[in-house]
Chains A and B, each alone.
Chain A
Amino acid sequence: DTAVSQTPKYLVTQMGNDKSIKCEQNLGHDTMYWYKQDSKKFLKIMFSYNNKELIINETVPNRFSPKSPDKAHLNLHINSLELGDSAVYFCASSQEGRLLMNTEAFFGQGTRLTVV
């Protein structure tokens, strides 16, 4: 069983389109994340949700909108895609532990988004 699964794995789309990436975790974790990894492999957090509530939003353009229908799902919708959005997007989850600090994150397999 896959612990954190995201779909699709690959996404090729034209500039200006709107697309969504879905993520589900079956680990019972409280916190879910979206990370962006660029072509140089730099990894940067975009959003963090705890029990369906947004707790971190890192200066991400408004075109990106996360949605968490329940604590096992965190989807990412992107409007008006731009060339610079091309990257690998990772979903992850972790468990809130002692002193509100989280355990290590478990990552999905990534979605490679290519905007042409």
Chain B
Amino acid sequence: ELKVEQNPLFLSMQEGKNYTIYCNYSTTSDRLYWYRQDPGKSLESLFVLLSNGAVKQEGRLMASLDTKARLSTLHITAAVHDLSATYFCAVDTVAGKSTFGDGTTLTVKP
């Protein structure tokens, strides 16, 4: 059974700082997603990573995928309060099925 582990689960950081969220998964996959969820809201797709070495950037967030290490990272640069949310990675191994990590709740403090 596929396991997807994120760490840390909770992250409190100051504005302006950098940090990385890690997503490890246990079986072969070449498709990984990052989603954002604001409190009480739905999930919104951030990135789709489709192959080994894929890197995508949007604003202060950058995601990468290393399929050999079964690892994806979500790097936050110069955090701002608006980035406070819960971030989920999700991995596909079977068509139509994504297994989600437990989520990383990020709080950015002034």
**Contact residues of A with B, CB < 8 Å?**
31, 33, 40-45, 48, 50, 55-56, 90, 92, 94, 96, 100-110
Contacts and interface: CB of A to CB of B under 8 A. Distances in A.
B103 A100 contact: no
B42 A43 contact: no
Interface string B70-110: 00000000000000001010001011111110110100000
A21 B96 CA distance: 21
Contacts of A106: 45
Contacts of B86: 41
A100 B94 CA distance: 9
A107 B94 contact: no
A20 B88 CA distance: 27
Contact of A41 (B44, B45, B97, B103): B103
Chain B interface: which size bin? 20 to 34
B31 A101 contact: yes
13 contacts: A40-B102, A42-B100, A43-B43, A90-B42, A92-B43, A96-B96, A101-B31, A101-B95, A102-B92, A104-B35, A105-B43, A105-B45, A109-B42
B32 to A, nearest CB: 10
Given A42-B103, A43-B88, A105 B98 contact: yes
Interface in B35-70: 35, 37, 41-45, 48
B25 interface: no
A98 B38 CA distance: 30
A10 B48 CA distance: 30
